[in-house]
Structure 1
Amino acid sequence: MHHKILIAGGGSAGIATAASLLKRRSGLDIAVIEPRGEHFYQPGWTMVGGGIFSKEQTCRSEASVMPSGVNWIKASVSGFDPDNNSVALKNGTTVTYDLLIVAMGNRLAWEEIEGLEETLGKNGVTSNYRYDLAPYTWELVQKTRRGRALFTQPPMPIKCAGAPQKAMYLSCSEWEKQGTLGDIDVEFHNAGGVLFGVKEYVPALMETVERYGIDLAFTSNLVRVDGPNHKAWFKTEDGEVERDFDMLHVCPPQRGNQVVAHSALADDAGYAEVDQATLRHARFENVFALGDCGSTPNAKTMAAARKQAPVVATNALAQLDGKSATAAYDGYGSCPLTVENGKIVLAEFTYGGNLAPSFPSWVLDGTKPSKLAWRLKAQALPPIYWDGMLKGREWLAKPVPIG
Structure 2
Amino acid sequence: MLSVRTRLTSITKRSFATVTEAAKPDQKFKVVVVGGGPGGLSVSSTVSQLLGKNQVAVIEPSSKHYYQPLWTYVGGGLKNFNESVKPMAEVMPSDAEWIQDKVTEFDPDNNTVKLADGQVVGYDYLVVAAGIQINWDKVKGLKQALGKDGVTSNYDADSVQKTYKFLQEFKGGNALFTFPNSPLKCPGAPTKMTFLAEEAFRLSGVRDKTNVIYNTAGGKIFGVDHYGRVLQKLADERNIKLNFQHELIEIDADNHQAVFKNNANNGEISSFEYDFIHVAPPQGPPTFIKESKLADAAGWVDVNKDTLRHNKYKNVFALGDCSSLPTSKTAAAITAESGVLKHNLIADIQGKKVEQAVYDGYTSCPLIVGRNELILAEFSGYTGQPLETFPVDQRGISRVSQFLNKEVIPAIYWNGLLKGTWTGPGLFRRMLDPLRPKRDN
Q: Is the 8 A contact 2:339 2:423 kept in 1?
A: no
Q: Cα offset for 1:138?
A: 0.6
Task: Answer 1 or 2: which has greater helix percent.
Answer: 2
Q: Is the 8 A contact 2:389 2:425 kept in 1?
A: no
Question: 1:16: which partner in 2?
Answer: 42
Structure 2 segments unaligned to the other structure (5+ residues): 1-26, 430-441
Distance, in Å, in 1 between the alignment partners of 2:112 and 2:343 is 22
**Residue 118 (str. 1) matches residue 149 (str. 2):** no
Question: 2:390: which partner in 1?
Answer: 359
Q: Cα offset for 1:45?
A: 0.6
Match of 1:283 among 304, 308, 312: 312
Where in structure 2 are the equivalents of 1:371-382 lying within 5 Å? 371-382=399-410
**Residue 347 (str. 1) matches residue 377 (str. 2):** yes
Secondary structure of residue in 2 paired with 1:327: coil
Question: 1:335: which partner in 2?
Answer: 365
Question: 1:183: which partner in 2?
Answer: 209
Residue by residue, what CA displacement relative to the aligned partner does 1:115-138 show, whole Å, maximum 9, x if unpaired?
Answer: 111110002110000111112111
**Residue 68 (str. 1) matches residue 94 (str. 2):** yes
Distance, in Å, in 2 between the alignment partners of 1:310 and 1:81 is 26
Secondary structure of residue in 1 paired with 2:422: coil
What is the root-mean-square deviation in Å for CA atoms of aligned residues? 1.5
Secondary structure of residue in 1 paired with 2:394: coil
Distance, in Å, in 2 between the alignment partners of 1:25 and 1:96 is 17
Q: Cα offset for 1:386?
A: 0.3
Residue by residue, what CA displacement relative to the aligned partner does 1:73-94 show, whole Å, maximum 9, x if unpaired?
Answer: 1111010000000000000100
Question: 1:83: which partner in 2?
Answer: 109
**Residue 227 (str. 1) matches residue 256 (str. 2):** no
**Residue 369 (str. 1) matches residue 400 (str. 2):** no
Question: 2:421: which partner in 1?
Answer: 393
Whichever residue aligns with residue 270 of structure 1, its letter is G
Q: Structure 1's 395 and 9: CA in aligned 2 closer, same or farther, altered over 3 A?
A: closer
Whichever residue aligns with residue 372 of structure 1, its letter is V
Residue by residue, what CA displacement relative to the aligned partner does 1:226-281 show, whole Å, maximum 9, x if unpaired?
Answer: 11211011000330011100001000111111111010000011100000010000
Q: RCO higher in 1 or 2 (8 Å CA, sep ≥ 6)? A: 1
Secondary structure of residue in 2 paired with 1:78: strand
Whichever residue aligns with residue 109 of structure 2, its letter is D
Distance, in Å, in 2 between the alignment partners of 1:120 and 1:325 is 49
Q: Cα offset for 1:397?
A: 4.7
Q: Is the 8 A contact 2:179 2:216 kept in 1?
A: yes
**Residue 302 (str. 1) matches residue 331 (str. 2):** yes
Q: Cα offset for 1:200?
A: 1.0
Distance, in Å, in 1 between the alignment partners of 2:199 and 2:50 is 45
Distance, in Å, in 2 between the alignment partners of 1:396 and 1:39 is 20
Distance, in Å, in 1 between the alignment partners of 2:171 and 2:161 is 18
Distance, in Å, in 2 between the alignment partners of 1:15 and 1:282 is 23
Distance, in Å, in 2 between the alignment partners of 1:374 and 1:327 is 32
Question: 1:45: which partner in 2?
Answer: 71
Whichever residue aligns with residue 278 of structure 1, its letter is T
Question: 2:3: which partner in 1?
Answer: none
Q: Across the two proteins, how many residue pairs are aligned to each other?
A: 397
Whichever residue aligns with residue 384 of structure 1, its letter is I
Q: Is the 8 A contact 2:65 2:88 kept in 1?
A: yes
Distance, in Å, in 2 between the alignment partners of 1:131 and 1:163 is 15
Question: 1:269: which partner in 2?
Answer: 298
Q: Cα offset for 1:325?
A: 5.6
Q: Cα offset for 1:69?
A: 0.8
Question: 1:147: which partner in 2?
Answer: 173
Greater CA radius of gyration, 1 or 2?
A: 2
**Residue 129 (str. 1) matches residue 155 (str. 2):** yes
Match of 1:59 among 85, 108, 123: 85
Structure 1 segments unaligned to the other structure (5+ residues): none
Q: Cα offset for 1:34?
A: 0.5
Q: Cα offset for 1:23?
A: 5.3
Whichever residue aligns with residue 410 of structure 2, its letter is P
Q: Cα offset for 1:71?
A: 0.5
Where in structure 2 are the equivalents of 1:244-259 lying within 5 Å? 244-259=273-288
Q: Is the 8 A contact 1:222 1:232 kept in 2?
A: yes
Q: TM-score, normalised by structure 1?
A: 0.96
Q: Cα offset for 1:395?
A: 5.7
Question: 1:7: which partner in 2?
Answer: 33
Q: Cα offset for 1:156?
A: 3.7
Distance, in Å, in 2 between the alignment partners of 1:255 and 1:374 is 30
Question: 2:7: which partner in 1?
Answer: none
Worse-superposed segment, 332-341 or 308-317: 308-317
Distance, in Å, in 1 between the alignment partners of 2:346 and 2:355 is 9
Q: Cα offset for 1:321?
A: 3.0
Secondary structure of residue in 2 paired with 1:248: strand
Q: Cα offset for 1:203?
A: 2.8
Whichever residue aligns with residue 375 of structure 2, its letter is V
Distance, in Å, in 2 between the alignment partners of 1:27 and 1:122 is 47
Secondary structure of residue in 1 paired with 2:142: coil
Residue by residue, what CA displacement relative to the aligned partner does 1:280-313 show, whole Å, maximum 9, x if unpaired?
Answer: 0000000000000000000000001111112111
Q: Is the 8 A contact 2:336 2:423 kept in 1?
A: no
Distance, in Å, in 2 between the alignment partners of 1:211 and 1:384 is 34
Match of 1:384 among 402, 407, 412: 412
Q: Structure 1's 397 and 67: CA in aligned 2 closer, same or farther, altered over 3 A?
A: farther
Question: 1:210: which partner in 2?
Answer: 236
Distance, in Å, in 2 between the alignment partners of 1:219 and 1:203 is 18
Residue identity (%): 40
